[in-house]
């Protein structure tokens, strides 16, 4: 008796209705779990605010009738059993952690939207064949431990990360393991390898996300269908000099670690621009000086650098040039290049053809304008692609703003994204 309903939805998409009001309330309420004053959001892994927000998400999953499971690092799974539970499931999800002083849509739209997509399908009378699963990933943002997509990297089986996390500490010298335990994870017998996901556990993984770029808004297009995710790399650099008194040490006798940092920051920009490709980007988001006093020559500097490209080899050559510049600057300024750590240097990911076709078909059926595009930001999808066919749905956001309080997506655009997600999940569930 359940079969007809399953097929109905694919012919009668008008039955898909998003509860706009509840969703807006949820977005606003989730934003209150923040360590920065509104409209800024700061929600960092395993802090009290993160733990409260996780409780909020699990409650919504429960209200949606999902059965909930958490793994050793706090990836949260909410499952709606299909009628063929022996088949690999179809998963969707994103993250809710937020970098300091950012906004309330990045990641959140793909978690709250995934739960609402389940509600949409339930309200429409749809019954899944393959199980549908909502995933909330742990620490997509690198804020606390310098590791981006921590949860999905572990799910994708990064043994290097499993090993590194035994030693990893945050800037306050709190270890990953202690922080994790204080949030209720990594209990006595938990093992990081238990987070690994078998390849083939999911037949598809789809992530809904704001574009974080200006294209959809500028072109007036409702839905972006991601074909590839650019390859990210991140680097930490440390310089050391002799420091000294800002008045007493004359210019020829200085080796200023702060000026070395300033030069390297400008060199990053130069190397990115000299590829000549619009697709290469590079950013120095962190420059820390020590002792950080107006009347003291910096004796230490620390930079954190992010560079990405859709072309992995070109991206790697930028990383190499940044290294060469760091060495040359250190030599020229007689400072020591005391650290040059490539924290991660990931390949790009391609979206799965079948999922792309399902998302295109869903957009068409819903009468929504859509286009293929590249994701320049990375996402947990970059790592899910290692263990599952992957696809991403983008929606427009105001001026392309992200990672700042002005980040915004309209209720209508979010609802459109959720409908496309719901219909795509339905199709993939029956596939």
Closest distance to Mn ion from the beta carbon of 133 (Å): 19
With CB cut-offs between 5 and 8 Å by kind, which of its own copies, Mn ion, none does residue 317 bind?
A: none
- 210 in Cβ contact with 170 (< 8 Å): no
Stretch touching its own copies by CB under 8 A, among 7-15, 63-71, 162-170, 205-213: 205-213
Site for its own copies in 303-342 (CB under 8 A): 304-306, 308
Distance in Å, CB of 133 to its own copies, minimum? 27
Q: How far is the CB of 142 from its own copies (least distance, A)?
A: 6
**Site size for its own copies, by CB under 8 A?**
72
Identify which range of 8-16, 50-58, 59-67, 236-244 contacts its own copies by CB under 8 A.
236-244
**Stretch in the footprint of its own copies (CB under 8 A) among 80-88, 261-269, 363-371, 422-430:** 261-269
Indicate the residue whose CB is closest to Mn ion. 107
Position 404 contacts its own copies (CB under 8 A): yes
Q: Which of 154, 204, 216, 265 binds its own copies (CB under 8 A)?
A: 265
Stretch that binds its own copies, among 126-134, 255-263, 312-320, 321-329 (CB under 8 A): 255-263
Partner whose binding site includes residue 232, from its own copies, Mn ion, none (CB under 5 to 8 Å by kind): its own copies
Positions 11 through 40 that interact with its own copies (CB under 8 A): none
Q: Which of 93, 113, 258, 348 binds its own copies (CB under 8 A)?
A: 258
> Cα separations (Å) of 299 from 100, 148, 268, 322, 328?
27, 29, 22, 21, 18
Extract the tokens encoding 234.
Answer: 């991140």
Residue number, 71 or 306, with CB nearest to its own copies? 306
Can you tell me which of 47, 119, 222, 280 binds its own copies, judged by CB under 8 A?
A: 280
CB of 246 to its own copies, least distance (A): 4
The item of Mn ion, its own copies, none sharing an interface with residue 356, based on CB under 5 to 8 Å by kind, is none
> Taking CB within 5 to 8 Å according to partner kind, which of Mn ion, its own copies, none is near residue 238?
none
238 binds its own copies (CB under 8 A): no
Listed residue (331, 340, 287, 285) closest to 308, CA to CA: 285
Mask of contacts with its own copies, 364-383, x by CB under 8 A? ------------xxx-----
Count residues binding Mn ion (CB under 5 A).
2
- List 50, 106, 211, 240, residue binding Mn ion (CB under 5 A): 106
Q: Is 211 in the site for Mn ion (CB under 5 A)?
A: no
Peptide bond connecting 39 to the previous residue in cis, omega within 30 degrees of 0: yes
The site partner of 107 among Mn ion, its own copies, none (C-beta below 5 to 8 Å per kind) is Mn ion
Rounded to the nearest whole angstrom, what is the least distance from the CB of residue 107 to Mn ion in the complex?
4
End-to-end CA distance of the chain: 19
Q: Which of 11, 248, 313, 367 binds its own copies (CB under 8 A)?
A: 248
**3-state SS record for the chain:** CCHHHHHHHHHCHHHCCCCHHHHHHHHHHHHCCCCCCCCCEEECCCCHHHHHHHHHHHHHHHHCCCEEEECCCCCEEEEECCCCCCCCEEEEEEECCEEEEECCCCCHHHHHHHHHHHHHHHHHCCCCCCCEEEEEECCCCCCCCCCCCHHHHHHCCCHHHHHHCCCCECCCCCEHHHHHHHCCCCCCCCCHHHHCCCCCCEEEEEEEEECCCCHHHHHCCCEEEEEEECEEEEEEEEEECCCCECCCCCHHHCCCHHHHHHHHHHHHHHHHHCCCCCCCEEEEEEEEEECCCCCECCCEEEEEEEEEECCHHHHHHHHHHHHHHHHHHHHHHCCEEEEEEEEEECCCEECCHHHHHHHHHHHHHCCCCEEEEEECCCCHHHHHCCCCCEEEEEECCHHHCCCCCCCCCCHHHHHHHHHHHHHHHHHHHHC
What's the min distance (Å) between Cβ of 113 and Mn ion?
Answer: 12
Within residues 126-155, the interface with its own copies by CB under 8 A covers 141-143, 146, 148
CB 23 within 8 A of CB 112: yes
Touching its own copies, residues 88-117 (CB under 8 A): 99-102
Q: By the criterion CB under 5 A, which residues form the site for Mn ion?
A: 106-107
């Amino acid at each position: 008796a359940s079969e007809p309903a399953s097929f109905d939805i694919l012919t009668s998409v008008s039955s898909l209705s998003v509860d706009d009001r509840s969703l807006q309330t949820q977005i606003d309420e989730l934003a209150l779990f923040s360590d920065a004053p509104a409209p800024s959001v700061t929600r960092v892994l395993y802090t009290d605010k993160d733990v409260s927000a996780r409780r909020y998400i699990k409650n919504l999953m429960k209200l949606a009738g999902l059965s909930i499971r958490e793994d050793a690092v706090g990836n949260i799974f909410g499952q709606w059993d299909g009628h063929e539970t022996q088949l690999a499931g179809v998963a969707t999800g994103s993250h809710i952690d937020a970098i300091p002083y950012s906004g309330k849509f990045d990641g959140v739209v793909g978690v709250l939207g995934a739960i609402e997509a389940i509600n949409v399908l339930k309200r429409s009378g749809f019954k899944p064949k393959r199980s549908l699963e909502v995933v909330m990933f742990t620490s997509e943002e690198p804020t606390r431990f310098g590791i981006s997509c921590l949860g999905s990297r572990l799910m994708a089986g990064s043994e290097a990360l499993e090993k590194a996390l035994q030693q990893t500490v945050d800037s306050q010298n709190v270890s990953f393991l202690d922080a994790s335990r204080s949030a209720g994870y990594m209990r006595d017998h938990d093992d990081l390898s238990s987070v690994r996901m078998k390849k083939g556990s999911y037949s598809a993984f789809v992530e809904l996300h704001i574009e974080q770029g200006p294209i959809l808004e500028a072109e007036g297009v409702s839905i972006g269908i991601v074909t590839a995710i650019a390859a990210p790399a991140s680097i930490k650099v440390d310089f050391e000099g002799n420091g000294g008194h800002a008045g007493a040490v004359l210019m020829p006798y200085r080796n200023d670690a702060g000026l070395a940092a300033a030069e390297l920051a400008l060199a990053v920009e130069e190397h990115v621009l000299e590829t000549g490709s619009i697709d290469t980007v590079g950013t120095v988001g962190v420059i820390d000086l020590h002792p950080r006093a107006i009347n003291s020559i910096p004796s230490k500097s620390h930079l954190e650098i992010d560079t990405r490209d859709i072309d992995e080899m070109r991206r790697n050559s930028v990383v190499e040039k940044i290294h060469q510049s760091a060495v040359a600057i250190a030599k020229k300024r007689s400072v020591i290049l005391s650290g040059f750590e490539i924290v991660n240097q990931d390949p790009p990911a391609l979206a799965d053809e079948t999922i792309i076709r399902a998302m295109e078909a869903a957009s068409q059926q819903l009468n929504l304008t859509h286009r293929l595009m590249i994701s320049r930001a990375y996402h947990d999808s970059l790592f899910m692609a290692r263990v599952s066919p992957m696809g991403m749905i983008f929606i427009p956001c105001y001026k392309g703003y992200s990672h700042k309080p002005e980040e915004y997506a309209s209720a209508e655009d979010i609802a459109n994204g959720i409908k496309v997600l719901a219909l795509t999940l339905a199709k993939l569930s029956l596939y």
